[in-house]
Amino acid sequence: MFSRILARRVVCLAVWLAIILLTWQSVPLLTAAPNAQATAFTFTAVGDLGGSTNTDGVLTGISNAGANFQLTLGDLSYGAYAPETAWCSYVQSKVGATFPFELGAGNHDMDAQPTGHINNFAACLPDRIGNLTGAYGKQYYFDYQNLARIIFISPDLTLDGETYAYTVGSARYDWLVGAIDGARSATLPWVIVAMHKNCISTGVKSCEIGTDLFNLLVAKKVDLVLQGHEHNYQRSKQLALNATCAAIAPNQYDAPCVTDDGTDNTYAKGAGMVLVIVGTGGKGLYASDPLDSEANYFARIAVPGVDVARHGFLQVSVSASALSGQFVGTSPGSTFSDAFRIHTTTLANFTARVVAANRVRLDWTTTSERTLVGFNVWRRRGVRGAFEKLNIARLPVRFAGQPFGAAYFWRDRRALPGNKYFYKLKLIHSDGTGEWSDVIKVKAP
C-alpha cells in the first residue's frame, strides 16, 4: 500500500513539474511589438513663420495642440532671430526643447540667403522622429506608426549648390516615385507629401515647382499635399487625372480634373489628391482672389469681403480609416476656419425597395471590413423631416478585421403606405469615426 501511495505521489509530482515547465515555456515575454500599429496620431503643419507676435500665437497654439509632431513647410526665421541658433531657441521656448519640430526648406532658407540656411536650422532643430530616409530638411521621408508615410521635398530650391528639380526622368523625380510607391507596397494607409513652393493657387504665386512634379502628385493620387510660400490658407478640391484630364495646366481651369468639389468638406480616399496651402505661420498675409484663373480648383479660401484671413496652423488627425484636417486660427479679429475629412470608402452599394405594404428592405455590400465594427440605419419621413436612427443596437459586421467585405440586408417594418422615405447608412469604424452612404429614397405604396 505504501508503495502505491509513493508511486501516486511521484506521478503527481512529475505531472506538476511538467505543467510548470510547459507553462513557463509558453508564457510570452511582455515586450511591445516593434511595428505595432497605433490607433491614431495627430500632427500640425504650417510654413512662413518669422518671429513676430503672430508667430508667438501660432507656436503657442502648436504647443497646446497635443500633437505628436510638427511639419514646418519652409521659410523659417526670415532673419527675425539671428543666427539660426537664436531662432531655434525661440521656437523651443514655445513648443519645448524635445518636441519633434520637423523641418523643410523654403526659398528664404536656401543658399545665398541672409536669413539663414537650412543646414544650420537642421543642426539646432534636429529630426526627433528617428527613422527617416534621406537628407533631413531637404529631401526625406519617414513612416509614422505604420499609418502614414510623410515625404518632404524641396522643388525649385538651391541647396548646397544644387537646384532641386523634379522633372520627368530626373533622379529626384524617380526618388519621389519610389518613396510613394514604396509606401503603397508597404500597405501604409496614407501618403502625405510636404514642400514649400506651389503650382496652383488663388494668390500671387505661380507654378514654381513645375508641372511635371504637380501632375505626378495628382497622377499618384497622393492623399494630402502640404505647401507654404503663399501667405494664406487654401484647400483644394480633390484632383485626379483621367481619360478627359490628361494633365493639369497652370493659369486655367479644367473641370474634368476635379473628382470631388469638397463642398461638403469630405473626400473619398483614393479618388484623388487634396492640396492644402498653409503659409500662415506669422508673416504678413496675402489676399486670395476668387476670380483667379485657378480659383475653381479650390474648395475653401478666405474670400475678400466675406472672410478675414488670419494666422494659424493646420491640425491633422490620422487613423487607419480617416484623415481629418482643421485650420486652427490663432490671430484675433477673425473667425475664419476650415475643416475637412478624407475617409476610406468601404461601402460598395446601398439600395432600398418596398417588399410589402409597410416594409422596406435595405441592402448593402461592403468592400472591406478591416476597420469596420458595425452599422446604423437612419430614416427621414418626407423631404422636411429629421433623420432618426432606426436600429436600437449597432448592427455588427460579419468579418471584423478582415480585408474582404460582405452582403447585408435589413427590413424597416414601420413604413406607412403612401409616404416617401429617405434612408442613409452610417458605417462605424474601429477608431470611432463614421462613414456615411448617399441618401436614397423610396415611396411606400
What is the per-residue pLDDT across 80-100, written as a single tens digit (0 to 9) for each?
Answer: 999 999 999 999 999 999 999
- Rounded Cα gap, residues 49 and 74, in angstroms: 8
- Rounded Cα gap, residues 163 and 116, in angstroms: 17
Confidence at residue 10, expressed as pLDDT on a 0 to 100 scale: 47
Confidence at residue 8, expressed as pLDDT on a 0 to 100 scale: 54
Match 491640425 to its residue by C-alpha cell.
Answer: 315
Quick one: cell of 382? 418626407
Mean of pLDDT values over 226-249: 97
Give pTM, 2 decimals. Answer: 0.80
- Rounded Cα gap, residues 24 and 18, in angstroms: 10
Residues with Cβ within 8 Å of 32's Cβ and at least 6 positions away in sequence, in order, are none
What is the per-residue pLDDT across 206-235, written as a single tens digit (0 to 9) for each?
Answer: 999 999 999 999 999 999 999 999 999 999
- Rounded Cα gap, residues 325 and 310, in angstroms: 17
Compute φ and ψ for 326, nearest 5 degrees: -145, 130
Question: Which burial class, exposed, middle or buried, applies to 216 when counting CB atoms under 10 A from its CB (0-12, 13-18, 19+)?
Answer: buried
Confidence at residue 371, expressed as pLDDT on a 0 to 100 scale: 84
What is the per-residue pLDDT across 58-83, written as a single tens digit (0 to 9) for each?
Answer: 999 999 999 999 999 999 999 999 99
Q: Answer with the residue of higher pLDDT: 98 or 27.
A: 98
Same fold for the pair 40-343 and 347-443: no
E strands in 61-173: 69-73, 101-104, 133-135, 139-144, 148-152, 158-159, 162-163
Mean of pLDDT values over 278-298: 97
CA neighbor of 217 nearest in space, from 182, 258, 248, 261:
248
What is the per-residue pLDDT across 315-373, written as a single tens digit (0 to 9) for each?
Answer: 999 998 889 999 999 999 888 999 999 988 788 999 999 988 789 999 999 998 888 99
Mean of pLDDT values over 29-41: 47
- Rounded Cα gap, residues 148 and 44, in angstroms: 14
**Above pLDDT 90, what percent of the chain?**
76
Residue 191, number of CB atoms within 10 A of its CB: 24
Confidence at residue 21, expressed as pLDDT on a 0 to 100 scale: 37
Mean of pLDDT values over 163-191: 97
Confidence at residue 389, expressed as pLDDT on a 0 to 100 scale: 96
Confidence at residue 338, expressed as pLDDT on a 0 to 100 scale: 96
Is the model's pLDDT at 181 over the cut of 90? yes
pLDDT-wise least confident of 9-18, 208-217, 293-302: 9-18
- Please, what sign has the CA dihedral across residues 408, 414, 418, 421? negative
- Rounded Cα gap, residues 427 and 321, in angstroms: 11
CA neighbor of 311 nearest in space, from 283, 274, 288, 353:
283
Is the model's pLDDT at 14 over the cut of 90? no
Mean of pLDDT values over 163-179: 98
Mean of pLDDT values over 122-146: 97
Confidence at residue 17, expressed as pLDDT on a 0 to 100 scale: 44
Residues with Cβ within 8 Å of 174's Cβ and at least 6 positions away in sequence, in order, are none
Q: Where are the domains of the chain?
A: 40-343, 347-443
Match 500671387 to its residue by C-alpha cell.
Answer: 204
Compute φ and ψ for 287, nearest 5 degrees: -80, 150
- Rounded Cα gap, residues 136 and 134, in angstroms: 6
Match 511591445 to its residue by C-alpha cell.
Answer: 32
**DSSP helix/strand/coil, 309:** coil
Confidence at residue 25, expressed as pLDDT on a 0 to 100 scale: 34
Quick one: cell of 236? 483644394
74 Cα distance to chain centroid: 20
Asked if CATH classification 2.40.50.140 holds for the domain at 347-443, the reply, yes or no, is no
Asked if CATH classification 3.60.21.10 holds for the domain at 40-343, the reply, yes or no, is yes
**Above pLDDT 70, what percent of the chain?**
91
Mean of pLDDT values over 135-145: 98
Q: What's the mean pLDDT when you consider all of the chain?
A: 90
Is the model's pLDDT at 28 over the cut of 60? no
Is the model's pLDDT at 412 over the cut of 70? yes
Match 515586450 to its residue by C-alpha cell.
Answer: 31
β-bridge mates for residue 340, sequence order: 325
Is the model's pLDDT at 192 over the cut of 60? yes
Q: Answer with the residue of higher pLDDT: 346 or 378.
A: 378
The DSSP call for residue 204 is: S
Q: Answer with the residue of higher pLDDT: 306 or 211.
A: 211
- Rounded Cα gap, residues 421 and 418, in angstroms: 10
Quick one: cell of 272? 484623388
| Residues 285, 291, 294, 296, Cα dihedral to 10° | 110
Q: What is the DSSP string of 424-439?
A: EEEEEETTS-EEEPPP
